[in-house]
Amino acid sequence: MANTLWLITGISDTLTGIEVVDLPPLTWLGSFIVTSTIAWILVLHIDGLYKDRRKLNDKLMHDHLTQALSRSFLEVKLNEAIFRIKNSDINRLVVCIFDVDNFKNINDNYGHSSGDVLLKNITEIVKRHLSPGDCVARLGGDEFVILFSDYHSALKASDIVEQIRQAIASTIFKAKAHTFSTTCSFGIVNILSEGDLAEDPAHDILSTADEALYTAKSLGKNTIRSIGYHD
């Protein structure tokens, strides 16, 4: 009863400004409880806002299916790498575009859910071969980009891509009742100096890597085509 009386008088005094009971300690206690309650509500609200913001950032940064980087965030990472080339002694960047050979046949034969499982598994394989400074992003469909922005991994990017190619080709993928294998084709572009960069370098680099991928496809698939920028 005493606690209830203290709470009622404190809340009444705080909200109305009218002293219900002339007992200052009770008023102070009620004011303290009300203030603490309001503060706690605000803390919970702010924490909820931060959680919502983190979820939104995650959606913007990552592809929802594969958890590779999103296409929009890839552009951010690629432009950051280009900026480093222009403004530091780091003068090497390697970009690789790859896709799944005959991906449509997998969807047609085993269903789109099997295709989704395949894309997620391939992303995991790629991530296992990358250093923390590198990343893989999904352009869309079955097409991905590997960004070798770490100087040391960029030096051996072709070897890393070959390891990824072999790992994918040797894996038996499982989706529901189906088991199947597949291969990927890769197009690599090497940027060796700032002088190589065009006026719109990010778009130009991706276009050049895509041309290398097209050449790899024409050579029989399950292969790698590596070219220098502006070759």
For strands 224-228 and 178-180, give the pairing.
unpaired
Q: How confident is the model at residue 225 (pLDDT cuts 50, 70, 90)?
A: very high
Provide the 3-class DSSP secondary structure of residue 19: coil
What is d(CA 68, CA 151) in angstroms, rounded to the nearest whole number?
A: 21
Say what the pLDDT of residue 17 is: 46
Q: What is the mean pLDDT of residues 139-154?
A: 92
Residues 127, 130, 135, 138: is their CA dihedral positive or negative?
negative
E strand or H helix at 167: helix 157-169
Read off the pLDDT of each residue in 31-41 and give the average, rounded to a whole number: 70
DSSP 223: -
- pLDDT mean over 105-125: 95
Of 58, 50, 56, 6, nearest to 32 (Cα)? Answer: 6
Query: According to the model, what pLDDT value does residue 56 have?
Result: 45
- From residue 84, how far is each of 46, 76, 89 by CA, in Å? 36, 13, 8
The lowest-confidence range among 48-57, 106-115, 170-179, 196-205 is 48-57
Q: What is the DSSP string of 77-145?
A: HHHHHHHHHHHSS---EEEEEEEETTHHHHHHHH-HHHHHHHHHHHHHHHHHTS-TT-EEEEEETTEEE
Matching residue, tokens 């909820």: 48
With pLDDT > 70 as the criterion, what percentage of the chain qualifies? Answer: 71
On whether the pTM is more than 0.85, the answer is no
The span from the first CA to the last CA of the chain, in angstroms, equals 86
Compute the C-alpha angle 178/122/172, nearest 5°: 40
